[in-house]
Structure 1
Amino acid sequence: MKKPTSKRLPMANYTTPRINLHPHTRRVQIYHRDTLLADTSDVIELREKDYPQRQYLPRSDVDMSKPTTSTAVTHCPDKGDSTYYSLPDLLDIAWSYDHPIDEMSAIAGRLAFDSNKMTELVE
Structure 2
Amino acid sequence: MSNTVSQPTRSVKIPGPDHPITIERNPARVVVSLAGRTLADTRNALTLREARYPAVLYIPAEDVDMTLLERTDHATYCPYKGDCAYYSIPLGGERSVNAVWTYETPYDAVASIKGHVAFYPDRVDAIEELDVPA
TM superposition score normalised by structure 2: 0.77
Report the structure, 1 or 2, having the larger helix content.
Answer: 2
Q: Which residue of 2 aligns with 1:78?
A: 80
Q: Map residues 101-116 of structure 1 onto 2, 5 A cutoff.
A: 101-116=107-122
Q: Secondary structure at the match of 1:60?
A: helix
Q: Secondary structure at the match of 1:116?
A: helix
Task: Provide the aligned length of Structure 1 versus Structure 2.
Answer: 110
State the alpha-carbon separation in 2 of the partners of residues 109 and 100 from structure 1: 10
Taking only the aligned residue pairs, the percentage that are identical comes to: 33
State the alpha-carbon separation in 1 of the partners of residues 28 and 109 from structure 2: 24
Contact 1:74 1:83 (8 Å CA) reproduced: yes
What is the identity, as a one-letter code, of the residue corresponding to 1:121?
E
Q: Secondary structure at the match of 2:109?
A: helix
State the alpha-carbon separation in 2 of the partners of residues 103 and 48 from structure 1: 12
TM superposition score normalised by structure 1: 0.83
1:83 CA drift (Å) = 0.5
State the alpha-carbon separation in 2 of the partners of residues 74 and 65 from structure 1: 23
Provide the aligned C-alpha RMSD in A. Answer: 1.5
Contact 1:29 1:36 (8 Å CA) reproduced: yes
Name stretches of at least 5 consecutive residues in structure 2 with no aligned partner.
1-13
Name stretches of at least 5 consecutive residues in structure 1 with no aligned partner.
1-13
1:61 CA drift (Å) = 0.3
What is the identity, as a one-letter code, of the residue corresponding to 1:120?
I
